[in-house]
Amino acid sequence: MMCSQPPLRQGLCRKEVQVMKMSKIKFLFLLSCLLLMTACSLPGLKFAQPATPDVAQMLDAARTEAALTVTAGIIDHATQSPVPPNPSGTISATIAPTTTALPSNTPQPSLTNTPTATRTATITRTATRTPLPGGNPKIEIVGVEKNQAVSIKTINFPANQIFTIRIGPFSEFSSNNKVTGSIYSGSGGPMIFTVLIPSEYIDVDRFTIRLDSNHGYYAFNAFENVTSGTVSYTATPVPTYKCEVSISPSLYTIFPVNADFDAVWEVKNTSDDAWGKSAVDYKYDSGTEMQKYGKVFDLPETVDPGESITIVVDMIAPGTVGTYSTTWVLADGGTTLCKLPVTIVVK
């Protein structure tokens, strides 16, 4: 550095040069100390302790000055206010905003493909009861002969129904009853008939008698096992058929004119005798003839007591609107074992 100033100024220039030289020496010294500190921090390297306390003091001073410089730089460049102390000692955290959407509590529509119900042309026939003009069916007790028989009268019974007859002790009828036979209601209305009391119920004090039809109608009553009233054995034959029958189509099913349909009877043998294949037939008995083929058919197989068989007859609805009934029977020669009725409506 050259000084072209007066002598006083030249003296000042010399001092400035000396200050600059001292600054360079100081800078080089600090740089050496920093390099030495860095080397000391490397793993596996060990250095001997300073020989004199003066060097140690200088290193401490250098570290302090460096720390103060770094702290000053952090403070100078800080853009946030200092965090106040937490007097409670608990750690609090602020959730930083995120670009990832949080899941919503609102139910979202499922993307799963739901199979579409396939419509079929199958006709569903229900077995619901048709309300009767005079109300529900009822039975009255006409007479009782103790341990022998009971005569009953039907009231407001529907036509062309097969009613299964059950008798059992009054207090346990639901779990202990016997099928004593069946009765065919024919044209409906009032009937009087007599039912024998099963021998295993001798001396039971009180009975329940119940009639259930193959189309869901029922009637019941109770009576004391005490001789009373009038029991008739001859005035009206007891039409007790040893079977239980389920019928399809159900009562008053609607068909269009000239519609093809099947009359299906599920018949259970409730008698004590087998229905022989070669001896028992099912045949047309009365009513409107709606069968498409013959009137008499052999039973396809022998039905033992307690077993069931399905009987099917191809039929065609009449060509004129109206209500039509037909009755077939299961017969052993001239003896009717079971009535098989069907009633439909043509519209």
- Token pair recorded at residue 6: 């007066």
Residue type, 138: K
Query: What's the Cα-to-Cα distance from 307 to each of 35, 150, 198, 239, 293, rounded to whole Å?
Result: 108, 28, 21, 22, 27
Q: 264 in a domain, yes or no?
A: yes
Q: Is there a contact between 265 and 245 (Cβ–Cβ < 8 Å)? A: yes
Can you give the pLDDT at residue 317?
Answer: 96
- Token pair recorded at residue 289: 């003839």
Can you give the pLDDT at residue 146?
Answer: 93
| Calpha distance 10→16 (Å, rounded) | 10
Can you give the pLDDT at residue 271?
Answer: 83
| Calpha distance 275→302 (Å, rounded) | 6
Query: Of 241, 224, 217, which Cα lies nearest the Cα of 127?
Result: 217
Do 253 and 235 reside in the same domain of the chain?
no
Can you give the pLDDT at residue 15?
Answer: 56
DSSP 139: E
Do 210 and 259 reside in the same domain of the chain?
no
User: Is residue 187 classed exposed, middle or buried when 0-12, 13-18 and 19+ CB atoms within 10 A define those classes?
Assistant: exposed
Q: 32 in a domain, yes or no?
A: no
Q: 211 in a domain, yes or no?
A: yes
Can you give the pLDDT at residue 119?
Answer: 31
Specify the residue for token string 């077993």. 307
Last residue of a domain, one of 192, 217, 240: 240
Do 211 and 258 reside in the same domain of the chain?
no
Residue numbers in the chain where pLDDT is lower than 50: 1-5, 8-9, 11-12, 44-53, 66-67, 69-104, 106-128, 235-237
Last residue of a domain, one of 185, 216, 240: 240
Can you give the pLDDT at residue 180?
Answer: 82
Last residue of a domain, one of 240, 274, 290: 240
Can you give the pLDDT at residue 215?
Answer: 81
Domain that holds residue 340: 246-346
| Calpha distance 26→39 (Å, rounded) | 20
249 preceded by cis ω (within 30°)?
yes
Q: Is there a contact between 204 and 168 (Cβ–Cβ < 8 Å)? A: no
What is the number of structural domains in the chain?
2
Can you give the pLDDT at residue 79?
Answer: 40
Q: 133 in a domain, yes or no?
A: no
Do 232 and 250 reside in the same domain of the chain?
no
- Token pair recorded at residue 268: 């259970």
Can you give the pLDDT at residue 21?
Answer: 62
Give the domain CATH number at 187: 2.60.40.1930
The CA-based diameter of the chain, rounded to the nearest angstrom, is 168
Do 210 and 178 reside in the same domain of the chain?
yes
Q: 266 in a domain, yes or no?
A: yes
Q: 123 in a domain, yes or no?
A: no
- Token pair recorded at residue 330: 């299961």
What distance lies between CA 44 and its chain's CA centroid?
74
| Calpha distance 168→197 (Å, rounded) | 9
What distance lies between CA 41 and its chain's CA centroid?
73
Can you give the pLDDT at residue 291?
Answer: 96
3-state secondary structure of 164: strand
Return all residues near 189 (Cβ < 8 A) that are at least 6 apart: 154, 156, 157, 159
- Token pair recorded at residue 249: 């189509």
Q: 38 in a domain, yes or no?
A: no
Give the domain CATH number at 253: 2.60.40.10
Q: 209 in a domain, yes or no?
A: yes
Q: Quick: pLDDT tens for 228-275.
A: 998 877 544 455 677 888 888 987 889 999 999 999 999 999 888 899
Residue type, 187: S
